[in-house]
Amino acid sequence: MDTKANIVLLSPSSSTDSMASSSSSSSTNSVVSFLTSNKGKQLLVYDKYVFRCNKTTLFKKYWTCTEHACNVSAHTNTKNEFLSIIGNHNHIAEPHLLDVKQVKNKMKKRILSETTSLTKIYDEEVKKASLSPEAAATLPTVLEFRSNMSKARRKNIPVIPKSCVFEIPTAYQQTLSNKRFLLMDYYLKRAKERIVIFSSDQQLNLLYNSDVIQLSVIPLIHINLLSFLKRLPVVFDLLPNHRTTTYLDLFKRLKEEAIAINKVFEPKQVVSDFESALVSAVRATFPNASHTGCNFHFVQAVHRNITNLGLASEYTHDENIRDQCRQLMALSLMPIAEVEKQFKRIRALASPSLDDLFVYFERQWISGCVPLSLWNANESDHRTNNIAEAYNRRFGTRIMKKHPNFWSFIQFDGTFDALECD
């Protein structure tokens, strides 16, 4: 791998001729570093020359020049600290080829540890390297690079599962810092449905110590992600469906996990969207918590119906229509006792072209399936789950895939423990 070893400045040599006489020598200006060969073997780089490991003993490693006809050798201890070099090279160093090797090593390291597109990795590393024209001429093209590295990435990533029955490799059960990340993995209905929950110990503590939690539901191919957030994403739940029973089972198991580590899972406030199954499960599991819907989702729902009812053009170009629609949206911010009265007032004064919008609003929000107490945000300190929405946007930006597969998703979310919970 392209990681720097312990850099050891070498002691001065009395004469360059000492190398020719096969005596040990060193230079104050040279350092050692390491690369990885195409076969995954470690290579030593010293003074722009590349060496492969020929033998390892209890105390030493013996390295030989990668040029077949060259007999120069180098010695390090088993910690890869440089000791000596013996002999003179019978060929010149080719630093431009070494630069290309180093760039390719960096690319391969990222390819095997990230889900970033191959082309993006190629472009970024070439830009950072600032290669000489000679080195750039020997660098594989992006098409050659993608062809070779696609195979390397496929070997490193498990086959994408086609059903819910599959094994999760150990590497995908851990965070970047090799700590536990997979919390629970269990089946429902005779292995026909499966729930997988990811959260590190530190993230769980954040969840159980929080008075306010935010729930965000994100579609992930045919799996639904329910994310618990407290300014940071702390639990990622991959669910097979949106049923109330599924949410109830999830909350029950998280409560049991809290008891197992001498914690309680009893938030004082829950903020979520208006999905009916989720609302029912939250009320049943946390009866003493204040449950509020997200004002952002409320406004978004009204906006969506303005478009669906063919009113988008009038909303954009007619200031009176736009003002009446905004008054309707602002009802969520009024004292709850005033909402129905003000709704009737706005409706009486509204343009006839908005009749269908008012019919929708009354059926859905005034006397419909969403209780007034859930969408009214007048007394709420947490009126939106914008933190959750910001995470969703950042998720899409950072993973750079519209529909990430199962392994890409786990690999990406495992970075949050290291990046944001330290």
pLDDT tens-digit readout, 343-372: 999 999 999 999 999 999 999 999 877 889
Domains and their CATH numbers in the chain: 17-93 (2.20.25.240), 105-156 (no CATH), 170-294+384-420 (3.30.420.10), 295-375 (no CATH)
Q: Is 256 exposed, middle or buried (CB count within 10 Å of its CB: 0-12, 13-18, 19+)?
A: exposed
Count of CB atoms situated within 10 Å of the CB of 210: 18
Give residue 414's pLDDT band: very low, low, confident or very high (50, 70, 90): low
Pairwise pLDDT comparison (295 vs 257), residue with the higher score = 257
pLDDT of residue 156: 72
Instruction: Report the SS3 class of residue 6.
Output: coil
First to last CA, the chain: 26
pLDDT > 70? residue 394: no
DSSP line for 72-87: -EEEEETT--EEEEES
Pull the structure tokens for residue 347: 């409706």
What pLDDT score does 16 carry? 33
CA distance 49 to 64: 10
Whether the predicted pLDDT of 76 surpasses 90: yes
CB contact at 8 A, 280 and 244: yes
Asked if residue 5 has pLDDT above 60, the reply is no
Confidence of residue 4 (pLDDT cuts 50, 70, 90): very low
**Tell me: the pLDDT tens digits for 283-336?**
999 999 999 888 888 999 999 999 999 999 999 999 999 999 999 999 999 999
At 66, the pLDDT band (50, 70, 90 cuts) reads very high
Whether residue 77 is predicted with pLDDT greater than 90 in this model: the reply is yes
196 pLDDT above the threshold of 60: yes
> Residue 369: its pLDDT value, please?
78
How many CB atoms neighbour CB 351 within 10 A? 14
Does residue 226 sit in helix, strand or coil? strand
User: Which whole-number Å values give the CA distances from 111 to 102, 118, 122, 151, 156, in the listed order?
Assistant: 14, 7, 10, 11, 9
Strand partners, 65: 51
Least reliable range by pLDDT among 66-75, 211-220, 280-289? 211-220
Residue 29 to residue 8: CA distance in whole angstroms: 10
Residue 114, pLDDT score: 74
Residue 395 pLDDT more than 80? no
Note whether 234 and 413 are within 8 A (CB). Answer: no
Q: What's the whole-number average pLDDT of the chain?
A: 81
Q: pLDDT tens digits, residue range 122-159?
A: 888 998 888 888 888 888 888 888 777 877 777 777 77
Residue 97 CA: distances (Å) to CA of 129, 158, 183, 195, 359: 13, 33, 46, 50, 72
pLDDT digits (tens, 9 = 90+) for 197-210: 999 998 899 899 98
Confidence of residue 226 (pLDDT cuts 50, 70, 90): low
Above 50 in pLDDT, residue 420?
Answer: no
Q: Which residue stretches of 261-403 are H helix?
A: 276-285, 295-308, 312-317, 319-329, 339-349, 355-361, 372-375, 386-399
Q: Are 236 and 225 in contact (CB under 8 A)?
A: yes
CB atoms inside a 10 Å sphere around CB 287: 8
The CA distance from 235 to 183, in Å, is 9
